[in-house]
Each structure stands twice: as structure tokens, then as C-alpha cells.
Amino acid sequence: MASEFELINFLFEPLSRGLSPNEIGIGDDGAVLNVPENHQLVVVTDTLVSGVHFPENTAAYDVAWKAVAVNLSDLAAMGAQPGFYSLALTIPENNQVWLNGFAKGLEDIGSFYQIPLVGGDTTNGPLTITVTMQGWVSTGKAIRRSGAKEGDLVCVTNYIGNGALGLMVALNTLPESVKGLISEADSQYLLDALNLPQPQLDLSSSLKEFANSAIDISDGLLADLGHILEESNKLIAPKDGKVLGAQINLEFIPLSNAARIYIENTGHWPAILAGGDDYQLCFTIAPDKLNLAQEMSGKLGVKITAIGKVVSLDRVNESSSTSNKPSLMDITLLSHGKKIDVGEAKGYMHF
């Protein structure tokens, strides 16, 4: 059986290819890396815990892909390009077959996005993967959560709800009425959305041309849009007791074929709006920039849909909040112009 050091040498060292000759990756006490001139370093980190972030029987390849992809998704939301990453890996046993699959997942996503693995730590314990990733953005050009303005359109990339439905497929909890209507290919498509998310990195460099604020959707559309509103409210001087909220039109939410079948049969919007695991971007944009955004994204094969707008609420009468912090009640859901209540739609929370 390979020792910890052999394991690192055989599996992980090859993944550090791609560094410049004057950079140091795996093998020393620390990595030494260059940042391009006139750029700022952007640092993100996310942890995946078995049974919490992915079903326990998820393939090792997919676990590795997702651990890297969710960090790439955070960089995309900042308008940043990825540079390199490190990996803190906690494994319950030294299982060569599992580790080979895991390393292959890292190799594939690493070579696809050209990101070397530059270091990490390997420990024994319940399966937990933490990736820390560094990227960069032209100085002063990072996109914040906090830039939303009254009148902005709220946009999302591609489709919403596929990851959450993928989890239902994985856990076999899709309602019987829906199961029979979804094809094998659609089931696989949903599983792939859950296990092999595709971060919106291609769009991230153009995003700064048009977006006032952005976030990636990990906890659920409503919760993550709530973060945009919360952070944006911190930056605007509250005028006349006003607070930012949003109006979202349900009929505009972009749904895949499978998600449409799910909604038509269950009408259960919280799964789509608050299930999470989307790894799409939600951003706000001045209305006159929508055409430019759709033109740029169209060239990249990314669909951008305006699903609603940022509005100014009267804090005392209309908003549920008593502070600048909006609650989900400050996001109004409309169906064909009529206000509707979709029930519990808080988004994923660990505690």
C-alpha cells in the first residue's frame, strides 16, 4: 500500500505541471507563485463534506471535479480568471481505486481550465475536501456582490434548478409523478448538473463590461440574490427609509426540459428557487446593457435571462426588515404580474 508520501508524489505531483520556471509548486514548505502585472490576487475557498455536499456514494472523479468547480464558480462571480489551487484532502482510508478516480477528476478539470495544483495537505478522517484557489482580476475590476442599483435587471445564466433536481435523482426522491415522465437522458443531465457543474468562467471576463453586481448560485437563487441585496444595501446611504428589494417573475425563470416537467407536475417552486447547487451566475445589470450582455454571452454559448428587477422598498411599510439587511420577504415573486407566495424558500443553510 502506498504511503502518504508516495501517494502525494504519484497522484498529485503530476498535477502541478504548468508553472513557470521561476515558480515553486508541490514539494516545498510553500508554493511560490507569480501574479500578472496590473492585476490583483483573488482568493476563494470552499469545502465539500461527504454526505453534506455530495451523496456518500458519489464517484471519486465527480467529487474531485465538483471540489474544484465550485471554487472556479466563485472566481467567475468575481469576474476573475483562475491561476492555481491547493487541496486539503481528508480521507477515511487509503483506497487506491478511489484515489485514482479522484486524481483523474482533478487532472481533467485542471487541464480543462489550465490550473495547476500547487500544494495541499493530506490527512486521515471523514471524507472532506477543501480547495483554496487563487485567481486574478485587472486592478480595480473585481465585481462585487454590493453593486446592485435600483432599476437594475436581475439576470441569471443558463438554467436554474437542475442541481437540486439532480440531487433528487441521486437520492431517489423525485416524486413518482415526475419520475415516469423524465427520460433516461434527462435524468443523466440532472445528475451531471449536480456532480459535474460547469463554472461560468468564459463569461467572467466579459461580465465586468456589464454587471453591477454578481454572485454564484450555490445556496439557491433566492438566498444568493438576497446576499446581493444585503451587501448592496450596506453600501447605499439609506434614503428616506428605503431599502433595496427585488421582483422576480416566475415565468421568466429559465428551466430545462426536466425542470419544466417537474414544475408542471408538482408546482413546487422552492426546489428550483432555493434548492441550490446551481453554480450559475446571478447578476444585476442596467437595463440598457442587456442587449450587449446577451450579444457577448451568445458568442460564448451562454444563455442570459432577465428574470426580474431591483426595486426600492419603503423600509417601514413594504420591507420585512428593520435594518439594511433584507430578508427573503424583500424578494417579491410574481406569476404573470400577480404576487404569489411559494412557501418555504430559504435556501441551503448549514445551521
Ligand X SMILES: Nc1ncnc2c1ncn2[C@@H]1O[C@H](COP(=O)(O)OP(=O)(O)O)[C@@H](O)[C@H]1O
Q: Is 152 annotated as a binding residue?
A: no
Nearer to ligand X, 46 or 186 (CB): 46
Q: Which of residues 4-33 bind ligand TPP (CB under 6 A)?
A: none
Q: Is 216 annotated as a binding residue?
A: yes
Q: Are 224 and 157 contacting, i.e. CB atoms less than 8 angstroms apart? A: no
The span from the CA of 174 to the CA of 287, in Å, is: 37
Nearer to Mg ion, 46 or 186 (CB): 46
Q: What is the DSSP string of 139-194?
A: TT-PPPGGG--TTPEEEEES-SSHHHHHHHHHHT-S-HHHHTTS-HHHHHHHHHHH
Q: Are 42 and 78 contacting, i.e. CB atoms less than 8 angstroms apart? A: yes
Nearer to Mg ion, 186 or 224 (CB): 224
Across 53-99, the runs of DSSP E, i.e. the strands, are 81-91
With CB under 6 A as the contact rule, the residue among 54, 85, 102, 269 that binds ligand TPP is 54
Nearer to ligand X, 186 or 278 (CB): 278
- Residues 6 or more apart in contact with residue 295 via CB below 8 angstroms: none
Q: Is 218 in the site for ligand X (CB under 6 A)?
A: yes
With CB under 6 A as the contact rule, the residue among 187, 198, 213, 218 that binds ligand TPP is 218
Residue closest to 137 by CA, chosen among 228, 48, 214, 67: 214
Cell numbers placing 134: 487563487
Q: Is 348 annotated as a binding residue?
A: yes
Least distance from Mg ion to the Cβ atom of residue 64, Å:
18
Q: Given strand 39-49, what is the order of strands in its sheet?
A: 39-49, 128-138, 81-91, 117-124
Which secondary-structure segment (H or E) carries 347? none
Q: At what angle do helices 257-266 and 184-195 cross, to 10 degrees?
A: 100
- Residues 6 or more apart in contact with residue 338 via CB below 8 angstroms: none
Stretch that binds Mg ion, among 41-49, 50-58, 254-262, 265-273 (CB under 5 A): 41-49
Nearer to Mg ion, 45 or 122 (CB): 45
Q: Is 330 annotated as a binding residue?
A: no
277 binds, among Mg ion, ligand X, ligand TPP, none (CB under 5 to 8 A by kind): ligand TPP
Q: Per-residue x/- marks for ligand X, 52-91, CB under 6 A?
A: ----------------------x-----------------
Q: Is 276 in the site for ligand TPP (CB under 6 A)?
A: yes
Residue closest to 275 by CA, chosen among 183, 139, 194, 165: 165
Q: Which of residues 59-98 bind ligand TPP (CB under 6 A)?
A: 70
Nearer to ligand X, 74 or 107 (CB): 74
Residue with cell 458519489: 58
Kindly tell me the burial class for residue 326, based on how many C-beta atoms sit within 10 Å of its own C-beta (0-12, 13-18, 19 or more): buried
Nearer to ligand X, 252 or 348 (CB): 348
- Counted residue by residue, the chain has a size of 351
Q: Is 145 annotated as a binding residue?
A: yes
Q: Is 53 in the site for ligand TPP (CB under 6 A)?
A: yes
The span from the CA of 76 to the CA of 281, in Å, is: 8
Q: Which of residues 149-168 bind ligand TPP (CB under 6 A)?
A: 167
Please give the residue ranges that form the binding site for Mg ion (CB under 5 A).
46
Please give the residue ranges that form the binding site for ligand TPP (CB under 6 A).
46, 51-55, 70, 167, 218-219, 276-277, 348
Which residues are documented as binding site for ATP?
120-121, 145, 218
Which residues are documented as binding site for Mg(2+)?
29, 45-46, 74, 121, 216, 219
Which residues are documented as binding site?
29, 45-46, 53, 74, 120-121, 145, 216, 218-219, 277, 348
